[in-house]
Amino acid sequence: MKVLITGGEGFIGSSVAKELTKLDYQITSIDKRNRDNYVNKSIDIQYEKIDITNYEAIKEQVKSAEGIIHLAAVSRVIWGEIFPEECIDVNIKGTSNIIEAAKKSSKKPWFILGSSREVYGETNGEPISENYPSNPINTYGISKHAAELLVMQYSKQNKTNSVSLRFSNVYGDLTDILDRVTPKFIMNALLDKPLNIQGGNQIMDFTHISDTTDGIIKAINMLQSLEENSYYNDLNLLPGESNSLYDLIEYIRPNIENDIKTTITEGRNYDVERFVGNPSKAEEILGFKCKIKFKEGVKKTIQLYKNELKNNKEKLLKKFEDDKKCELP
């Protein structure tokens, strides 16, 4: 089966692509990024450097796809606030371009959208199910909510099967953006630098990359098994576990040799402070359940980063510095 992955050189996209090649899928990855981010290009994947806002380039790749995993995006809340026009352009117009190309395809590809917990906005900290009203509080969340609506419309109008998967604080690999909170805390701890806590009241639902990848593959299997058409659903793809930034620090502490130093600064008014998702719908529909507890996942990630600092320190430090820059990859 031919599968198109947009954002295929990103953190989640590269992990999914690697696993799907093991299952004999023919993968085409499209991405516009320029940074070296640990993607192993020796794997049998067709890589195309394409911007999803370019419809003419997109339609040529879509027409042969039997399935689409759409992960390309301005993928961070902070980037959405600094670059709101680009966020709207990529996350909404780019999604629309892919959908329009898919509508014209005779193959009627199934469609998976990589969405986000950010569509819910601020919550009360209790486990949130998919029927919780969408009320995003930042540009990124708004763009993902709009993308979900486009995908739902695509399924209903074109008799195709689709699902929006809402990710939450995915972590756990070298391909991650190292300026996200989990890798940033781990890297700073390993480098004996202070861990800066912005706000400090955050409650998050952290998901290891292997679980996210497993959930996407289960979603593919589900979509391929459907006899009906016009199927659409939205699913939380997360463990449903509440952890604070202080929990993260305590999970890091016993796995490093340095004494952890912290600083506290004011939080950002566009960040969701409290979110825990309810994973029961994905468990019922996909048979999906996260296997890696956050404490275990942090330990695995620390060991991965320790090994890379030992064996390829210059490359990892360069990526860490590059990922700190407030610029789109």
- Residues 226 and 180 reside in one and the same domain: no
Q: pLDDT tens for residues 153-190?
A: 999 999 999 999 999 999 999 999 999 999 999 999 99
Question: Is 285 domain-assigned?
Answer: no
pLDDT at 328: 66
Written as six digits, the tokens of 34 are 């320029």
- Residues 195 and 231 reside in one and the same domain: no
Question: 326 in helix, strand or coil?
Answer: coil
The span from the CA of 71 to the CA of 95, in Å, is 10
Q: How many CB atoms lie within 10 A of CB 2?
A: 14
Q: pLDDT tens for residues 109-137?
A: 999 999 999 999 999 889 999 999 999 99
Question: Is 227 domain-assigned?
Answer: yes
Mean pLDDT of all residues in the chain? 95
Written as six digits, the tokens of 247 are 């929990």
- Residues 33 and 94 reside in one and the same domain: yes
Number of domains the chain contains: 2
- Residues 264 and 232 reside in one and the same domain: no
- Residues 103 and 178 reside in one and the same domain: no
Question: Is 41 domain-assigned?
Answer: yes
Q: What CATH number does the domain containing 196 carry?
A: 3.90.25.10
Written as six digits, the tokens of 215 are 């959930």
Question: Is 283 domain-assigned?
Answer: no
First to last CA, the chain: 30
- Residues 256 and 215 reside in one and the same domain: no
Residue 205, CB half-sphere, CA atoms under 13 Å: how many?
27
Question: Is 329 domain-assigned?
Answer: no
- Residue range of the domain that includes 220: 2-170+207-237
- Residues 213 and 190 reside in one and the same domain: no
According to DSSP, residue 264 is labeled E
- Residues 155 and 274 reside in one and the same domain: no
Q: pLDDT tens for residues 91-116?
A: 999 999 999 999 999 999 999 999 99
- Residues 127 and 264 reside in one and the same domain: no
Q: What CATH number does the domain containing 31 carry?
A: 3.40.50.720
- Residues 200 and 111 reside in one and the same domain: no
- Residues 215 and 307 reside in one and the same domain: no
- Residues 262 and 143 reside in one and the same domain: no
Written as six digits, the tokens of 84 are 């709101």
Question: Is 123 domain-assigned?
Answer: yes
- % residues pLDDT > 90 (the chain): 90
Candidates 328, 324, 325, 320; CA nearest to 38 is 320
